[in-house]
């Protein structure tokens, strides 16, 4: 009869097989010990990366945003001149002074990071095709002030002008009259006379 090495070891050392030293119980204990060790390592990593309390977590978020934005500013020379003026601040330190909190920096990353990467890919494609942007061919004679990226605002409602106002503004309905043709009737007075020679002849004379 073939037996396992574990059972041979127990029999050779005169160890009684019980629930505590059974193979299934031993495997369960080993698995539980490994999972406990992995969980402790995971919680230690999360506390070191994301912080232990609310204040520490906020500081970690700010540091992460600063790190990601600095990486994007390293890609600034690879963008077109128009994208550099529109998406970026003059320096990364100016950016941090304008948006000091983590929420603003995260919103900026969510909005402009895809646009910046798309601009770099588009410029690389044009470079492979030997196409250049117009601002790379003609040097600007006058530069605009640095652009500070701001969220989009709702456009102001347009004020009615001379061409957009309704016609009733200038011509009220009560003043608009349509000319009605009139027929001037003249009363004619017919005078009927009977001649003496021919009584049947009737003459009509207008006044």
Report pLDDT digits (tens) over 97-128: 998 888 999 999 999 999 999 999 988 887 65
Tell me if the pTM is above 0.75.
no
Whether 86 shows a pLDDT value over 50: the answer reads: yes
- CB neighbour burial string for 103-123, b if at least 16 within 10 angstroms, e if fewer: eebbebbeebbeebeebbeeb
120, 75 contact by CB (below 8 A): yes
Least confident of 86-100, 123-137, 191-205: 191-205
Q: Report how far apart the first and last C-alpha atoms of the chain are (Å, whole number).
A: 155
Average pLDDT over residues 76-81: 89
Q: How many residues does the chain have?
A: 207
Under 8 Å between Cβ of 91 and 146: no
Distances (CA, A) of 7 to 13, 24, 29, 30, 189: 10, 13, 19, 19, 149
8 A C-beta contact, residue 206 and residue 189: yes
């Amino acid at each position: 009869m073939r037996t396992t090495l574990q059972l041979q070891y127990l029999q050779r050392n005169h160890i009684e097989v019980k629930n505590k030293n059974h193979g299934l119980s031993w495997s369960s204990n080993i698995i539980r010990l490994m999972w406990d060790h992995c969980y402790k390592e995971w919680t230690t990593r999360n506390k070191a990366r994301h912080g232990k309390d609310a204040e520490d977590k906020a500081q970690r978020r700010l540091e992460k945003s600063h790190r990601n934005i600095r990486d994007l500013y390293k890609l600034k020379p690879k963008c077109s001149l128009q994208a550099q003026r529109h998406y970026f601040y003059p320096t990364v330190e100016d950016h941090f002074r304008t948006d000091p909190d983590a929420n603003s920096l995260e919103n900026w990353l969510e909005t402009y990071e895809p646009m910046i990467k798309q601009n770099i890919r588009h410029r690389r494609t044009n470079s492979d095709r030997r196409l250049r942007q117009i601002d790379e061919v003609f040097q600007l004679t006058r530069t605009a002030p640095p652009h500070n990226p701001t969220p989009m605002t709702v456009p102001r409602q347009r004020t009615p002008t001379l061409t957009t106002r309704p016609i009733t503004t200038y011509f009220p309905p009560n003043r608009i009259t349509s000319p009605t043709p009139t027929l001037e009737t003249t009363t004619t007075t017919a005078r009927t006379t009977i001649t003496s020679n021919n009584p049947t002849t009737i003459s009509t004379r207008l006044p």
